Amino acid sequence: ETIEKHDYKKNARVIGDLLKNNFLALQEKHKIIGEVRGMGLMLGLELVRDRKTKEPAAKEMLRLMDLCKDRGLFIGKGAMAGNVIRIKPPLCIGKDDADFIVKTLDETLGIVEKESGIGGVA
């Protein structure tokens, strides 16, 4: 009833599309992002040390999690290698919160790339 009343399904689709498009833009900017996947509000960003070999960036993922946490963004990790950022915000997420996620990831991915030597524009 609450989901229908607040049209959370539509919000999940709209904000999910916004996030995914912004994550794809981040992939163009950050070499560490090997793949962006998912739909709606269940999204993942695979972190790799090299896009050709797809070597998992598991150590970098742990550093990214700490940097994000320090900025108030709590992200999950997934995949067997522990190198996929899991984004699963609540159905009620708004544009301002989505923008915060993207801004925080952009900033922290840049730091991780610089520290690890992966960095640079893709």
Residue 1 clears pLDDT 80, i.e. is over it: no
Q: Are 8 and 14 in contact (CB under 8 A)?
A: no
- Give phi and psi for 106, each to the nearest 5: -60, -50
Give pLDDT tens digits for 19-57: 999 999 999 999 999 999 999 999 999 999 999 999 999
Q: How many CA atoms are closer than 13 Å to the CA of 57, on its beta-carbon side?
A: 29
Q: How far apart are CA 86 and CA 105, in angstroms?
A: 12
For the chain, percent of residues with pLDDT exceeding 70: 93
User: What is the value of pTM for the model shown?
Assistant: 0.91
Identify the pLDDT of residue 8.
Answer: 86
Count CB-CB contacts under 10 A for residue 76: 11
Q: Which homologous superfamily does the CATH classification assign to the domain defined by 2-114? A: Aspartate Aminotransferase, domain 1 (3.90.1150.10)
Mean pLDDT, to the nearest integer, of 92-120? 95
Any idea of the CA torsion for 99, 66, 61, 84, to the nearest 10 degrees?
-50
